[in-house]
Amino acid sequence: MGLMRLCFTFLLASIYFFGNIVFAQNIEIKGKVVEETTKQSLAYATVALVDSTTQETITGVITAEDGTFKIETTYDQFHVQISFMGFVSKTITNFDRSRRKIDLGIISLKEDTEQLDAVLVEAEVSSSQFKLDKRVFNIGKDLSSTGASALEVLNNVPSVNVDIEGAISLRGSSGVQVLINGKPSILTDDGGALGSITADMIDRIEVITNPSAKYDAEGTSGIINIVIKKDERKGLNGAFSLNTGIPDNNSFGLSLNRRSEKFNLFTQLGLGRRVYPRESENINEDLDTGTSILSVGDDFRIEKFYNITLGTDYYINANNVITLSGNFAYEIEDQPSDINFRALDADDNLTSEWNRSENTEATNPKWQYELVYKRDFEDHEDHDLLLSATGNSFGKDLTSLFQDTTISGTDRDNTQNTRTDYSDNTYTFKLDYTKPFSEVWTMETGAQYVINDIGNDFEVQNLVNGVFETDQGLTNNFEFDQKVLGAYLIGGYEYENWGLKVGLRLEQTDLTTVLVTTNESNKQNYTNLFPSVHTSYKISDAVSLQAGYSARINRPGMRELNPFFNIRNNFNIRQGNPALMPEFTDSYELTSIFDIGKTSLNFGVFHRYTTDVIERISVFENNVNISMPENIGTNSTLGAEFNTKYSPAKWLTFNFDFNYNQFNRKGTFESTVFDFNGNQWSSKLMAKFKLPAEIDLEAVGNHRSKVKTVQGVRSANTFLDIGVRKKILKDKGVINLSIRDVFKSRFFENFITQGNSEAYSWSRRGRFIAIGFSYGFGKGEAMEYSGGKRR
């Protein structure tokens, strides 16, 4: 606790020190930026205040999604500059600077045809933006993400970590809810499926560590919202890319967009082939007998993929827009593996050795479709209504053949078949309504209904006397049916430098799981209230303070509830628990934000208290490790977070992210006490270099500390990604080279001790090298599209 008191004292001292930088009276300037021809809002336009004498920039912001902006200053000699790529910049000098509040009204920007004719590659550097209840990470063309998926992009976002198996954590904790465009998606239910979203497709990532009542209460450590790009520039815009790499990685991507007065049509295509190798090692040891089972081997995931997105926006008029979009992806998988097993006695003598080979084939069709209606009311720029209906469907038809072949010692010959028929259908219906009653008071309300219908038909067959017979003990059809109805109400107050949001969300959950073959069912029905409070105070142009509280829930999913498992390694078995209950978390945080010259930095402290914590518990029998999730006690976490960006020169930029937390675990399971204290930390350092001849270089270093777990220890990890880019063909084309995990040092290593047994597991994906070429045509930009999937 001494370190946390020191961090909190430093935070308060920093606020006091920097808060005294400026005490002059603030002037507030606001307005709305629109496109001159269509009168549509221009999101992410740059609004800068410029010193009237020196012409130097005083401060600046980017416009919100509805084109609005609000900016404050203590200067009294300035003018306003508004700019946006592809449009003629506008400077406003005619307004009353003696007023504390200046409303510039509607500001129209005209298209710059000369600039559009020379296609530019913009947004080269990703940047962070803080809002009242979230942090927005605007995605640039980061070089180390060339040919990468959403998982690699997430790994570069402050506070977020993704391990080599695709598991996502936020501030060191799992239980993260991942959304696509603000809504649940089939792609987020399976971490690997996020690989079908590629870096070039992402506009921004919103990290919400303490979500307000407006958001689904799912996710005890917070929400990550991935917002997909949708180009809306008039005319025909497009780009294509070609990528190749080692291991085998070949893909083609095409993006097209056409905008007219009434319609905006958009599409993205991708196809290719990828190979993902993995090395692994496992050791199970019985400390009573001294016997052990060792396994070492390699497995591969070989994928062919096809992906198409189609959509259109229809502008009924200036205030009403309807969007209809759909996505179809189809994957063909081949998963061969070759694992060598060795059984040792107490004196480490080899008693038997055998090989287990796997040949798995699967097809995965995926559908996603969405209908959205948005109404902007004329009485106020923030008065709007949003209705949406989304459907997601994911299927998997998988067959596997396992063959055990004895090399020496005890006869281990065995042949097994498995069949999996999996279907996952999710439907989301959502309504959001925002009503400002004045310049300072706002109400937000809405409702959401989510239906999850999942089926997993799993069969195991053993070869007996030349005939495959169904193993009834390992075969069943698991059905998962969950419905969640939510409604929320939020009151907001914002005046001058201070803002406050208070909200309450109600969610009713109805869950039924059934093992069809044995007719075993489990029903859960519960209703919960989730309050939230968020506040912010701007001390000066350089210093802001944010604080928040929210209550969260983490409902176990199908994989955690389904008791049936695959038999890929029959000495390390993972299965679910149908009786598992949800986790509940109370989350508190306090953050300070400083913007000083060439440096911006953020420092915060946070606390989370979780009940009915879900942990995987390993049980050993005859050197077989069976892990199952259980609700075990409570977890109290106290942490500190630090982020900074510094540009010492025009050609050099550093981004640094550091996260530390210490935790206190308390719990008992089957008379075993799991009380312990621990800590963990992670850090990222990104360096960007602008070299001669228009060559850019980027290096991203990551470190994750060792951390104590319920039954053991997970090892520390350090790895490096680099990327190089060269613009060609008058900036219309881009050549990229990226190397992820340069030193092949990114791995997963875990030690488990339970009673008189120990288990060790290690795995590594290895180095990935990709080279790509992108070209933009029409009014498009060169992009970096891989179209494929990274697991």
pLDDT tens per residue, range 201-214: 677 788 777 788 88
Residue 17 DSSP SS3: helix
Least Cα distance to 218 among 525, 555, 450, 511 occurs for: 555
CA distance 760 to 294: 9
Q: Is the pLDDT of residue 307 over 60?
A: yes
Q: Is the pLDDT of residue 150 over 70?
A: no
Least confident residue range of 51-55, 121-125, 663-667: 121-125
pLDDT tens per residue, range 402-416: 999 999 999 999 999
pLDDT at 98 (0 to 100): 66
pLDDT at 734 (0 to 100): 84
Least Cα distance to 734 among 334, 184, 146, 282 occurs for: 146
Mean pLDDT of the chain: 82
Most confident region among 150-154, 493-497, 713-717 by mean pLDDT: 713-717
Q: How many residues are there in the chain?
A: 791
pLDDT at 754 (0 to 100): 86
Domain positions in the chain are 2-116, 235-778
Q: How confident is the model over 1-25, as a mean pLDDT?
A: 49
CA distance 257 to 268: 9
Least Cα distance to 580 among 511, 626, 481 occurs for: 511
pLDDT at 66 (0 to 100): 74
pLDDT at 8 (0 to 100): 52
Q: How confident is the model at residue 496 (pLDDT cuts 50, 70, 90)?
A: confident
- Please count the helices (runs of H) and the strands (runs of E) in the chain: 5, 46
Q: How confident is the model over 86-92, as a mean pLDDT?
A: 80
pLDDT at 116 (0 to 100): 38
Q: How far apart are the first and last CA of the chain?
A: 38
Strand (E) or helix (H) holding 312: strand 292-317
Rg over alpha carbons for the chain, rounded to the nearest Å, is 27
Task: For residue 271, give Cα distances in angstroms to 154, 164, 241, 268, 328.
Answer: 22, 23, 11, 11, 12
pLDDT tens per residue, range 347-391: 999 999 999 999 999 999 999 888 999 898 888 778 999 999 999
90-92 and 78-83 strand pairing: antiparallel
What one-character-per-residue DSSP string does 510-524 give? EEEEEETTTTEEEEE
| DSSP 8-state secondary structure symbol assigned to residue 349 | -
Q: How confident is the model at residue 239 (pLDDT cuts 50, 70, 90)?
A: confident
CATH architecture of 2-116: Sandwich (2.60)
The total of other beta-carbon atoms located within 10 Å of residue 387's CB is 16
Strand (E) or helix (H) holding 155: helix 150-155
| Percent of the chain residues past pLDDT 90, beyond the cut | 41
CA distance 426 to 628: 26
pLDDT tens per residue, range 497-513: 888 999 999 999 999 99
Most confident region among 338-342, 555-559, 693-697 by mean pLDDT: 338-342
pLDDT at 96 (0 to 100): 72
Least Cα distance to 611 among 587, 576, 644 occurs for: 587
Least confident residue range of 103-117, 429-443, 615-629: 103-117
pLDDT at 419 (0 to 100): 94
Same fold, 2-116 and 235-778: no
pLDDT at 9 (0 to 100): 53
Q: How confident is the model at residue 783 (pLDDT cuts 50, 70, 90)?
A: very low
Q: Is the pLDDT of residue 178 over 90?
A: no
Least confident residue range of 251-265, 572-586, 680-694, 737-751: 251-265
State residue 153 phi and psi, 5-degree precision. Answer: -65, -45
Residue 356 in contact with residue 390, Cβ under 8 Å?
A: no
CA distance 769 to 36: 45
pLDDT at 120 (0 to 100): 34
pLDDT at 632 (0 to 100): 92
pLDDT tens per residue, range 512-553: 999 998 889 999 999 999 999 999 888 887 788 889 999 999
H helices of 550-599, in order, are: 558-561
Q: Which residues pair with 593 in a beta bridge?
A: 544, 602
pLDDT tens per residue, range 393-449: 999 999 999 999 999 999 999 999 999 999 999 999 999 999 999 888 999 999 999
CA distance 716 to 767: 18
Residue 194 in contact with residue 188, Cβ under 8 Å?
A: yes
Q: Is the pLDDT of residue 787 over 50?
A: no
CA distance 351 to 343: 6
CATH of span 235-778:
2.40.170.20
Which one is predicted more confidently, 658 or 138? 658
| DSSP 8-state secondary structure symbol assigned to residue 790 | -
Which one is predicted more confidently, 21 or 139? 139
pLDDT at 784 (0 to 100): 38
Task: For residue 780, give Cα distances in angstroms to 36, 148, 258, 260.
Answer: 20, 20, 10, 15
Alpha-carbon torsion 622, 627, 631, 635, what sign?
positive
CA distance 155 to 164: 10
Task: For residue 567, give Cα distances in angstroms to 337, 387, 475, 479, 643.
Answer: 13, 44, 11, 20, 43
Q: How confident is the model over 91-98, as a mean pLDDT?
A: 77
Q: Is the pLDDT of residue 108 over 80?
A: yes
| Percent of the chain residues past pLDDT 70, beyond the cut | 82
Q: How confident is the model over 605-623, as a mean pLDDT?
A: 91
CA distance 284 to 623: 6
Least Cα distance to 593 among 640, 541, 549, 660 occurs for: 541
Q: How confident is the model over 172-190, as a mean pLDDT?
A: 64
Residue 353 in contact with residue 345, Cβ under 8 Å?
A: no
Q: How confident is the model at residue 143 (pLDDT cuts 50, 70, 90)?
A: very low
Burial-class residue 145 by CB neighbours within 10 Å (0-12, 13-18, 19+).
buried
Residue 19 in contact with residue 543, Cβ under 8 Å?
A: yes
pLDDT at 380 (0 to 100): 79
Q: How confident is the model over 109-124, as a mean pLDDT?
A: 47
Residue 476 in contact with residue 501, Cβ under 8 Å?
A: no
Residue 558 DSSP SS3: helix
Alpha-carbon torsion 624, 629, 634, 640, what sign?
positive
Q: Is the pLDDT of residue 124 over 60?
A: no
Most confident region among 10-24, 46-60, 428-442 by mean pLDDT: 428-442
Buried b (16+ CB within 10 A) or exposed e, 13-45: eebeebbeeeeeebbebbbbbbbeebebbbbbb
